[in-house]
Amino acid sequence: MSTKITPASIFQNISQMDDSILPPVHLWDPPLCENVDMRIDREGRWYFMNSPIGRERMVKLFSRVLRFDDDGFYYLVTPIEKIRLLVEDKPFLIIDYTIKKDDCQIITFITNTYDEFELGNEHPLRVVFNKKNNEPSPYVLVRSNLEGLLSRNIFYKLVDIAEDFEGSLGVWSNNTFFKLS
């Protein structure tokens, strides 16, 4: 007799995890559950069976067990099950940032799942330009091999504070220059 997989059943498995520690999803190798349709759209909205997941707490918990594998697919991974997700661009959306200026400028990004991290060597920024229309897609490494797309609003706010360095427009954070153009 098989158990029906629902967001609630997955939530129950991961809701007991400590919020301050990311689970070791890279160590888990459970069987794939193929009867679940989940996706993340370009705006960072999560869907289950074509319905938006409205509970922020559930989305945050799901994001903590997200993994990108060598096969080019994203998965939600718990010790007992693995679910493939369709991700339209990147799984995270950068929705805000702060700037701290002491000895050096530090830009801290905030994702749609409320992860916070400093732009720097461990969390670099890269910009990819669409070859057809030259529109930028700015990405930053959130954790492991999971990136976030900077929202258009945040990208243009960074452009507003950008400066020229050696012929390139960009921003400084943690003593590192990140090109925006």
Residues of the chain with CATH 3.10.540.10: 7-87
**92-179 maps to CATH 3.40.50.300:** no
The two three-digit tokens of residue 49, written as one number: 């069976």
Cα–Cα distance, 2 to 35 (Å, whole number): 11
Write down the pTM of the prediction: 0.85
Portion of the chain with pLDDT greater than 70, in percent:
89
pLDDT at residue 130, rounded to an integer = 86
Which pLDDT tens digits describe the chain residue by residue (181 residues)? 445 555 455 555 555 555 557 899 999 999 999 889 999 999 999 999 999 999 999 999 999 999 999 999 999 999 999 999 999 999 999 999 999 988 899 999 999 999 999 999 999 999 999 888 888 999 999 999 999 999 999 999 999 999 999 999 999 999 999 999 8
Look at the domain 7-87 and name its fold. Answer: duf1285 like fold (3.10.540)
Contacts of residue 38, Cβ cutoff 8 Å, sequence gap at least 6: 46, 47, 48, 49, 76, 83, 84, 85, 86
Q: Give me the torsion for CA of 8, 96, 106, 130, rounded to 10°.
A: 100
Parts of the chain belonging to CATH 2.30.270.10: 92-179
pLDDT given for residue 166 in this prediction: 94
How far apart, in whole angstroms, are the C-alpha atoms of residue 98 and residue 107? 6
Q: DSSP for 34-69? A: EEEEEEE-TTS-EEETTEE---HHHHHHHHHTEEE-
The 10 Å CB-count burial string (b at 16+, else e) for 31-54 is eebeebebbbeeebebebeeeebe
- Predicted confidence at residue 1, as pLDDT, reads 45
Residue 19's pLDDT is what? 56
Instruction: Label residue 50 left, alpha or beta by phi (over 0 means left) and psi (-120 to 50 means alpha).
Output: left
Q: Tell me, what's the pLDDT at 47?
A: 97
